[in-house]
Structure 1
Amino acid sequence: MLLHRISLLAALIVALGNTAAPALADSLGRETRPLANNAAMPSATVYRSPIAATSHLVLSLSDRRVYVYRDRRLQASYPVAVGKPGWETPTGTFRVFQKVTHPDWESPFTGEIIPAGTPENPLGPRWIAFWTDGNNAIGFHGTPFVNSIGQAASFGCARMRNEDIIALFEQVDIGTTVTVIP
């Protein structure tokens, strides 16, 4: 998805904080690091809220689930669809840098903007971005394609049932750590 209507705060983070997140440990204590080619990832460490400081997401590509931790305790998990072959979801440690309710979607292929709430919009009711190369962004979002949940079916994003993305949206904030593991 092309980065669309980025907030002023996210723009500042991109402009001033384009450094990879530091190495962190996943829920099993294994060290995780961003991929070397993800040097343009925004780091929102300075702007973290109390929620972001205590919560952590682990997106397991093999489990096809996102796990929500608060104070190192599992709070919830949700099934997801992940990137299909050729459009794999990037692995590493990132931070949430954008949250949008009722997001518009801009096609990365045609540039066409699909308004929020229309049946053609694949993002559902919420968008939570955690990776960008400056042009494209990857994140968690709802989907009208619920049969794709549990599959490698997206263009890199983590698709979720609409009710699940609404619940996840309330559990994270700008700066929340997202660790994507194979």
Structure 2
Amino acid sequence: MLTILPPLPTFEHAITPENAAIAVRLVVKLSQRRVYLYQGDRLLAKYTLAIGKQGWETPTGIFQVLSKEKNPVFKSFRTGQLIEPGPDNPLGVRWIGIWTDGKTQIGFHGTNQEELLGQAVSHGCLRMRNRDVTAMFDQVSLGTIVSVEP
């Protein structure tokens, strides 16, 4: 059975020359396992990440925030099992989606395994402390530019 997904939103107006100095943006440095939150050229915050493991590497490139969700429900891509919000949910308390192939999504999210931060252990997502992803969630909006660098 084929599932037809709606087209992805476009955000052509996200950064213009007029608002570039005040625009919020994210820069992920995979080698450092950190994400940096900027407003224009001013660094506002930096957070430790867990990144994609070998064979499931986090994609690099320029992306945009496509979706945001508080207390997301996790659906296993392997089994289809749903895990409701709570302490057993591997997505933690927030989801910020930045990439999709129409079937799978990759994004920033909290975690119920904070001891794994700083490691390459995910299936491509960018895991964060729940308090950190909550703070970042409040700073970004749909269309925020996300640069993922090696």
Q: Same fold (TM over 0.5)?
A: yes
In the TM superposition, 1:5-154 aligns within 5 A as 11-12=6-7, 14=8, 43-46=10-13, 54-117=23-86, 119-154=87-122
TM-score normalized by the length of structure 1: 0.73
Q: State the AA in 2 paired with 1:55.
A: V
Note the C-alpha offset of 1:45. Answer: 2.8
Note the C-alpha offset of 1:108. Answer: 0.3
- The count of aligned residue pairs is 141
Give distance in 2, aligned partners of 1:154 and 1:45: 30
Q: State the AA in 2 paired with 1:45.
A: E
Match of 1:3 in 2: none
CA deviation string 1:129-155 (max 9, x = no partner)? 000000000000000111110000111
CA RMSD of aligned residues (A): 1.8
In the alignment, is residue 161 of structure 1 matched against residue 105 of structure 2?
Answer: no
Note the C-alpha offset of 1:73. Answer: 1.1
Check conservation: 1:80, 1:159, Cα contact below 8 A: yes
What SS does the corresponding residue of 1:135 show, helix, strand or coil?
A: coil
Relative to structure 1, is the Cα distance of residues 181 and 160 closer, same or farther in structure 2, using a 3 angstrom cutoff? same
Percent sequence identity over aligned pairs: 50
Give distance in 1, aligned partners of 2:75 and 2:112: 16
Q: State the AA in 1 paired with 2:39.
A: R
TM-score normalized by the length of structure 2: 0.88
Q: State the AA in 2 paired with 1:71.
A: G
Runs of 4+ in 1 over 2 A off after TM superposition: 43-48
Query: Greater share of helix residues, 1 or 2?
Result: 1
For structure 2, the residue ranges without an aligned partner over 5 or more in a row are none
